[in-house]
Amino acid sequence: LSELDKNGPRQYIFALEGTGRLNEAIHTLENAPALQSNTDLMGLLGGRYKRKYLIERTQSELDKAIHWYGKALTLSQEKDNSAQVYYHAINLAFLYLMQDDTDRTQNKAMAELALAHCDKVKDGQYWEIATRAEAQLYLGDIDKSVAHYQRAINLCKNNIRETSSMYINARHACNALHRPEWESRIEELFQ
Protein backbone atom coordinates (compact mmCIF):
# COMPACT_ATOMS: atom_id res chain seq x y z
CA LEU A 1 0.00 0.00 0.00
CA SER A 2 2.79 2.42 0.83
CA GLU A 3 4.08 2.18 -2.75
CA LEU A 4 0.76 3.01 -4.46
CA ASP A 5 0.03 6.43 -5.93
CA LYS A 6 -2.60 8.68 -4.30
CA ASN A 7 -5.54 6.86 -5.98
CA GLY A 8 -4.07 3.39 -5.52
CA PRO A 9 -5.29 2.65 -1.97
CA ARG A 10 -8.88 3.52 -2.89
CA GLN A 11 -8.74 1.26 -5.97
CA TYR A 12 -7.13 -1.50 -3.92
CA ILE A 13 -9.95 -1.37 -1.35
CA PHE A 14 -12.59 -1.48 -4.09
CA ALA A 15 -10.76 -4.41 -5.72
CA LEU A 16 -10.74 -6.34 -2.45
CA GLU A 17 -14.44 -5.69 -1.95
CA GLY A 18 -15.23 -6.52 -5.58
CA THR A 19 -13.57 -9.91 -5.24
CA GLY A 20 -15.52 -10.80 -2.11
CA ARG A 21 -12.79 -9.87 0.36
CA LEU A 22 -14.73 -7.23 2.28
CA ASN A 23 -13.29 -8.23 5.67
CA GLU A 24 -9.76 -7.88 4.27
CA ALA A 25 -10.65 -4.42 2.91
CA ILE A 26 -11.92 -3.41 6.35
CA HIS A 27 -8.82 -4.79 8.08
CA THR A 28 -6.56 -2.94 5.62
CA LEU A 29 -8.32 0.36 6.26
CA GLU A 30 -8.43 -0.10 10.03
CA ASN A 31 -4.66 -0.58 10.03
CA ALA A 32 -3.83 2.27 7.65
CA PRO A 33 -1.55 4.76 9.43
CA ALA A 34 -3.37 7.75 7.89
CA LEU A 35 -6.83 6.62 9.02
CA GLN A 36 -7.00 8.87 12.10
CA SER A 37 -6.50 12.08 10.10
CA ASN A 38 -7.72 11.29 6.57
CA THR A 39 -11.47 11.89 6.19
CA ASP A 40 -11.55 10.17 2.81
CA LEU A 41 -10.15 6.96 4.34
CA MET A 42 -12.63 7.27 7.21
CA GLY A 43 -15.40 7.48 4.64
CA LEU A 44 -14.04 4.44 2.81
CA LEU A 45 -14.05 2.49 6.08
CA GLY A 46 -17.53 3.74 6.94
CA GLY A 47 -18.65 2.67 3.48
CA ARG A 48 -17.27 -0.82 3.89
CA TYR A 49 -19.11 -1.16 7.20
CA LYS A 50 -22.25 0.17 5.51
CA ARG A 51 -21.96 -2.51 2.81
CA LYS A 52 -21.37 -5.16 5.45
CA TYR A 53 -24.39 -3.92 7.38
CA LEU A 54 -26.58 -4.15 4.27
CA ILE A 55 -25.52 -7.79 3.89
CA GLU A 56 -25.53 -8.92 7.53
CA ARG A 57 -27.99 -6.45 9.12
CA THR A 58 -26.12 -6.42 12.43
CA GLN A 59 -26.34 -3.43 14.74
CA SER A 60 -22.60 -3.44 15.35
CA GLU A 61 -21.85 -2.93 11.64
CA LEU A 62 -24.37 -0.08 11.46
CA ASP A 63 -22.86 1.52 14.58
CA LYS A 64 -19.34 1.29 13.12
CA ALA A 65 -20.47 2.84 9.83
CA ILE A 66 -22.14 5.71 11.70
CA HIS A 67 -19.06 6.17 13.88
CA TRP A 68 -16.63 6.51 10.97
CA TYR A 69 -18.84 8.72 8.83
CA GLY A 70 -19.61 10.85 11.89
CA LYS A 71 -15.96 11.28 12.78
CA ALA A 72 -15.14 12.13 9.16
CA LEU A 73 -17.99 14.64 9.03
CA THR A 74 -16.79 16.42 12.16
CA LEU A 75 -13.23 16.70 10.85
CA SER A 76 -14.45 17.80 7.41
CA GLN A 77 -16.56 20.55 8.97
CA GLU A 78 -13.59 21.70 11.04
CA LYS A 79 -11.51 21.90 7.85
CA ASP A 80 -14.41 23.55 5.95
CA ASN A 81 -14.08 20.92 3.22
CA SER A 82 -17.53 21.02 1.61
CA ALA A 83 -16.89 18.13 -0.81
CA GLN A 84 -16.07 15.87 2.12
CA VAL A 85 -18.94 17.26 4.21
CA TYR A 86 -21.58 16.39 1.62
CA TYR A 87 -20.04 12.94 1.10
CA HIS A 88 -20.18 12.06 4.78
CA ALA A 89 -23.49 13.83 5.48
CA ILE A 90 -25.40 11.99 2.76
CA ASN A 91 -24.06 8.67 3.98
CA LEU A 92 -25.11 9.53 7.52
CA ALA A 93 -28.56 10.49 6.20
CA PHE A 94 -28.83 7.00 4.71
CA LEU A 95 -27.55 5.28 7.85
CA TYR A 96 -29.86 7.23 10.15
CA LEU A 97 -32.79 6.16 7.97
CA MET A 98 -31.63 2.54 8.25
CA GLN A 99 -31.29 2.97 12.01
CA ASP A 100 -34.80 4.36 12.50
CA ASP A 101 -37.32 4.93 9.73
CA THR A 102 -39.91 6.27 12.19
CA ASP A 103 -37.95 9.30 13.45
CA ARG A 104 -36.55 11.05 10.39
CA THR A 105 -35.09 14.06 12.22
CA GLN A 106 -31.42 13.11 11.81
CA ASN A 107 -32.00 11.73 8.32
CA LYS A 108 -33.51 14.98 7.06
CA ALA A 109 -30.96 17.16 8.88
CA MET A 110 -28.10 15.30 7.21
CA ALA A 111 -29.82 15.50 3.81
CA GLU A 112 -30.18 19.27 4.21
CA LEU A 113 -26.55 19.58 5.33
CA ALA A 114 -25.42 17.57 2.30
CA LEU A 115 -27.43 19.80 -0.06
CA ALA A 116 -26.06 22.97 1.53
CA HIS A 117 -22.50 21.77 0.92
CA CYS A 118 -23.33 20.62 -2.61
CA ASP A 119 -24.40 24.23 -3.19
CA LYS A 120 -21.03 25.43 -1.90
CA VAL A 121 -19.09 23.05 -4.15
CA LYS A 122 -21.21 23.16 -7.33
CA ASP A 123 -18.59 21.22 -9.28
CA GLY A 124 -21.13 19.39 -11.43
CA GLN A 125 -19.38 16.06 -10.86
CA TYR A 126 -21.54 12.95 -10.73
CA TRP A 127 -21.08 12.38 -6.98
CA GLU A 128 -22.31 15.88 -6.24
CA ILE A 129 -25.33 15.34 -8.48
CA ALA A 130 -25.97 11.86 -7.05
CA THR A 131 -25.80 13.36 -3.55
CA ARG A 132 -28.44 15.89 -4.57
CA ALA A 133 -30.58 13.04 -5.92
CA GLU A 134 -30.36 11.01 -2.74
CA ALA A 135 -30.99 14.05 -0.53
CA GLN A 136 -34.15 14.82 -2.49
CA LEU A 137 -35.42 11.30 -1.75
CA TYR A 138 -35.08 11.98 1.97
CA LEU A 139 -36.72 15.38 1.61
CA GLY A 140 -39.65 13.92 -0.33
CA ASP A 141 -39.16 15.28 -3.86
CA ILE A 142 -39.06 12.24 -6.13
CA ASP A 143 -39.21 14.32 -9.33
CA LYS A 144 -36.05 16.27 -8.43
CA SER A 145 -34.44 13.07 -7.26
CA VAL A 146 -35.11 11.25 -10.55
CA ALA A 147 -33.85 14.22 -12.58
CA HIS A 148 -30.63 14.37 -10.58
CA TYR A 149 -30.10 10.61 -10.74
CA GLN A 150 -30.53 10.68 -14.52
CA ARG A 151 -27.94 13.43 -14.80
CA ALA A 152 -25.52 11.62 -12.46
CA ILE A 153 -25.86 8.37 -14.43
CA ASN A 154 -25.15 10.23 -17.66
CA LEU A 155 -22.14 12.04 -16.16
CA CYS A 156 -20.51 8.87 -14.88
CA LYS A 157 -21.13 7.21 -18.24
CA ASN A 158 -22.87 4.25 -16.60
CA ASN A 159 -19.70 3.22 -14.74
CA ILE A 160 -20.73 0.00 -13.01
CA ARG A 161 -19.29 0.71 -9.54
CA GLU A 162 -20.66 4.23 -9.35
CA THR A 163 -24.13 3.46 -10.70
CA SER A 164 -24.35 0.36 -8.53
CA SER A 165 -23.50 2.43 -5.45
CA MET A 166 -26.14 5.03 -6.35
CA TYR A 167 -28.75 2.36 -7.00
CA ILE A 168 -28.09 0.39 -3.81
CA ASN A 169 -28.61 3.47 -1.63
CA ALA A 170 -31.65 4.64 -3.59
CA ARG A 171 -33.34 1.23 -3.51
CA HIS A 172 -32.75 0.74 0.21
CA ALA A 173 -33.87 4.31 0.90
CA CYS A 174 -37.14 3.91 -1.01
CA ASN A 175 -37.78 0.66 0.82
CA ALA A 176 -37.10 2.24 4.24
CA LEU A 177 -39.29 5.20 3.28
CA HIS A 178 -42.09 2.74 2.40
CA ARG A 179 -42.38 4.21 -1.10
CA PRO A 180 -42.57 1.29 -3.56
CA GLU A 181 -43.79 3.62 -6.30
CA TRP A 182 -40.58 5.65 -5.93
CA GLU A 183 -38.54 2.47 -6.01
CA SER A 184 -40.18 1.55 -9.34
CA ARG A 185 -39.21 4.91 -10.82
CA ILE A 186 -35.65 4.55 -9.56
CA GLU A 187 -35.36 1.02 -10.94
CA GLU A 188 -36.36 2.24 -14.42
CA LEU A 189 -33.46 4.70 -14.38
CA PHE A 190 -30.82 2.15 -13.51
CA GLN A 191 -31.85 -0.59 -15.96
pTM of the model: 0.94
Q: Residue 81's pLDDT is what?
A: 97
Q: Measured between alpha carbons, how far is 124 from 91 in angstroms, rounded to an integer?
A: 19
Q: Residue 143's pLDDT is what?
A: 98
Phi then psi for residue 62, to 5 deg, are -60, -45
Which residues touch 69 (CB under 8 Å, ≥6 apart)?
Answer: 42, 43, 46, 50, 88, 91, 92, 95
Angle between helices 39-56 and 8-18 (to 10 degrees): 10
8-state DSSP, 120: H
For the chain, the first-to-last Cα distance in angstroms comes to 36
Q: Residue 10's pLDDT is what?
A: 86
Per-residue confidence of the chain (191 residues) as pLDDT tens digits?
678 887 888 899 999 999 999 999 999 999 888 888 999 999 999 999 999 999 999 999 999 999 999 999 999 999 999 999 999 999 999 999 999 999 999 999 999 999 999 999 999 999 999 999 999 999 999 999 999 999 999 999 878 889 999 999 999 999 999 999 999 999 999 98
Q: Residue 53's pLDDT is what?
A: 97
